[in-house]
Structure 1
């Protein structure tokens, strides 16, 4: 007698096991999951810092524009400010006497004084916006405007740079137009730096 085996038509004898999910799609656990969460938080923190830096650069550009307008209204040498005293006479104030200008009509300012004035006046002289704006102005004077800016120099180096700017401002042949032009270059330095930071942000988001 011959035994005959029949295979039902609804059974796929060639069926293969269902493919498993790719490794990248599988949920991760333990240390791997912890590292993934840490990487996400680190990327988010980095992006927040970049956004803050871009906002700061926009603010610095506006500050430098205001400083340029101060110089265009009135420029002085061998003093930070020229102002009107209570008798309507023009007085000059050095960096040491800068607070004498507080509340007085400003007649003129030197390069550094214009930046201080644009940031809010003598009380802002040690503020970060003033220090960072002066970093940009010094870069405009001493470096190619398209090069990356060296931020946060050591205090003694920063003071030396302020002296550089003061000496440049007080040169006998210097003109107000040249000072305004340097501030305009510093504005462009801020723009270049913003573009560089934005490019880093785009590159980081693509990884």
Structure 2
């Protein structure tokens, strides 16, 4: 005699679709996997950019603190030398400041100081921070920042910032206000990246 075992089935459960769509065969499946990898790479880039913009905002805030502590014109830094005298250093002599108490900085010097000092002058955080400060000075607030200008363009922008800092009517309050505007630019850029990521994920 043959025994027959019957198992009751929950029709609703058995008929429920899988939580993820099955992989499509052939070329379509390959294209799906490529698209998934591309989306993951974009998500990683967005996360990295948002983190970098957060760091940039903090750097600009620190630069504002440097200016509020002591602001100068016609030089990058003011420092106390080994004999206790206050001296100034231009961009060409910026390394003279290393290891000495800083008592003041211009706009560009404050950004360099906030990033770690003269050794960091060519580092990406300084360059990107100066891009944002120039944008805050020369562009309407709310417009996107144009990153990575050509080296000669970036150098020209540094000269623009230096000239602006050194104008006779300029004040420490003006410089701190510009840096605060630059902080808002960094926040707006971060929000723009987030919005772009959300739009892409819901497309």
Q: What TM-score, normalized by structure 1, do the two folds share?
A: 0.87
Shift of 1:43: 0.2
After superposition, the CA RMSD in angstroms is: 1.3
Instruction: Report matched runs for 1:94-173 at 5 Å.
Output: 94-173=90-169
1:90 and 2:86 aligned: yes
Unaligned runs of 5+ in 2: 1-16
**Aligned equivalents of 2:89, 2:36: Cα separation in 1:** 52
Total equivalences in the alignment: 185
- TM-score scaled by structure 2? 0.89
- In 2, Cα distance between the equivalents of 1:25 and 1:59? 39
Q: Report the 3-state secondary structure (helix = DSSP H, G, I; strand = E; otherwise coil) of the residue aligned with 2:78.
A: strand
Q: CA–CA distance in 2 between the matches of 1:69 and 1:198?
A: 28
Question: C-alpha distance in 1, partners of 2:55/2:24?
Answer: 43
SS of alignment partner, residue 77 of structure 1: coil
Task: Give the match's secondary structure for 1:178.
Answer: helix
Q: 1:37 to 1:85 in 2, by over 3 A?
A: same
1:1-207 matches, cutoff 5 A: 27-207=23-203
> Deviation at 1:145?
1.7
Post-superposition offset of 1:25: 5.2
CA distance in 1, matches of 2:141, 2:46: 21
Unaligned runs of 5+ in 1: 1-20
